[in-house]
């Protein structure tokens, strides 16, 4: 115990002194910097700029503009990496099934007070997730953020009610895989949408294009019925939310299979060979 206290004191002292040196200019320049760097200023000035229609994204949310437009392909591959991670866990848990409930489904889980509070908060969580994702092109947030918040709701049901309750609600592994695939398909289609418009109207267009660019004068409308949707950004956020929320839910459904069921089924499989 004493050793840990000494360790904490030493680390805290070291870091305090080190930050003091840096704050007093030990690196040769002042931190934090006085002004925004050039690349940041460029993004800030063209993210929403109706007077510069050839370069703008028409989204006041600069981070989402960068994530889904300026570096859209990077985000696509991040999504693919996440998809492969989920596919990996699905493959690892192939054929595993949870045993049927031994008692009434309502008798599993925590007390009635916790369950009632959870029933109320789950609606709020879903609403917040939807607002974060669908307003991702207007306010801080976006598809991944909204999806991660939405994934908290099935997690709460899983822990506070039970796995069986969640599956009775229709949140099953295959349903979630289907939602996840729809989300990814949507992201792919949105990425190709402007290219398809360009092909059919006979002008030049690029993959992952959003607004008109020099030499590629087509783009998705940035307004829908008077509301700003910033072209592809709204669709990307919507589909990314579906994919991320369903992906996390699949992992939790697989993790919540009781360990003795897993061991039994693995043993049966080994006996067969």
User: Which residues are near other proteins by CB under 8 A?
Assistant: 4, 7-8, 11-12, 15-16, 19, 63-64, 132, 140-142, 144-145, 148-149, 151-152, 155, 159, 248, 251-252, 255-256, 259
**Least distance CB 37 / other proteins (angstroms):** 15
In DSSP notation, 13-26 reads HHHHHHHHHHHTTT
215-222: list long-range contacts, CB under 8 Å, 24+ apart: 218/194, 219/194, 220/193, 220/194, 222/58
**Least distance CB 215 / other proteins (angstroms):** 31
Q: Which is nearer to other proteins, 23 or 189 (CB)?
A: 23
**Least distance CB 218 / other proteins (angstroms):** 29
List beta partners, residue 216.
213
**Least distance CB 103 / other proteins (angstroms):** 20
Check whether the bond before 32 is cis (ω within 30° of 0).
yes
**Least distance CB 149 / other proteins (angstroms):** 5
User: Is the separation of the CB atoms in 82 and 247 below 8 Å?
Assistant: yes
Q: Which helix (H) or strand (E) holds 263?
A: helix 259-272
**Least distance CB 198 / other proteins (angstroms):** 31
Lookup: tokens for 162:
């039970």
User: Is the separation of the CB atoms in 163 and 253 below 8 Å?
Assistant: yes
In DSSP notation, 83-121 reads HHHHHHHHHHTTT--PPPPSS-GGGSSS-HHHHHHHHHH
**Least distance CB 144 / other proteins (angstroms):** 6
**Least distance CB 200 / other proteins (angstroms):** 35
Neighbouring residues of 216: CB distance < 8 A, sequence distance ≥ 6: 198, 203, 204, 205, 206, 209
Count other C-beta atoms under 10 Å from residue 68's C-beta: 33
**How far lies 267's CA from each of 37, 261, 272, in Å?**
60, 10, 9
């Amino acid at each position: 115990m004493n050793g840990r206290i000494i360790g904490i004191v030493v680390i805290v002292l070291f870091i305090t002194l080190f930050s003091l040196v840096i704050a007093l200019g030990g690196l040769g320049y002042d931190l934090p910097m006085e002004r925004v760097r050039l690349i940041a200023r460029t993004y800030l000035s063209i993210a929403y700029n109706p007077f510069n229609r050839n370069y703008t994204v028409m989204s006041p949310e600069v981070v989402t503009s960068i994530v889904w437009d300026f570096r859209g392909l990077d985000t696509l591959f991040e999504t693919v990496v996440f998809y492969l991670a989920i596919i990996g866990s699905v493959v690892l848990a192939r054929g595993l099934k949870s045993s049927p409930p031994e008692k009434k489904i309502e008798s599993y889980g925590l007390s009635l007070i916790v369950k009632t509070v959870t029933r109320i908060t789950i609606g709020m969580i879903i609403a917040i997730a939807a607002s974060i994702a669908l307003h991702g092109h207007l306010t801080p947030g976006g598809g991944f953020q909204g999806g991660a918040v939405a994934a908290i709701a099935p997690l709460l049901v899983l822990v506070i009610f039970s796995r069986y309750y969640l599956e009775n609600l229709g949140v099953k592994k295959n349903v979630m895989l289907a939602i996840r695939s729809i989300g990814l398909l949507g992201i792919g289609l949105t990425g190709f949408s402007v290219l398809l418009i360009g092909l059919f109207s006979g002008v030049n267009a690029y993959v992952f294009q959003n607004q008109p660019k020099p030499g590629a004068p087509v783009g998705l409308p940035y307004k829908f019925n008077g509301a700003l949707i910033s072209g592809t950004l709204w669709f990307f956020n919507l589909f990314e939310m579906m994919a991320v929320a369903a992906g996390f839910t699949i992992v939790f459904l697989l993790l919540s299979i009781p360990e003795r069921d897993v061991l039994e089924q693995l043993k049966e499989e080994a006996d067969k060979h």
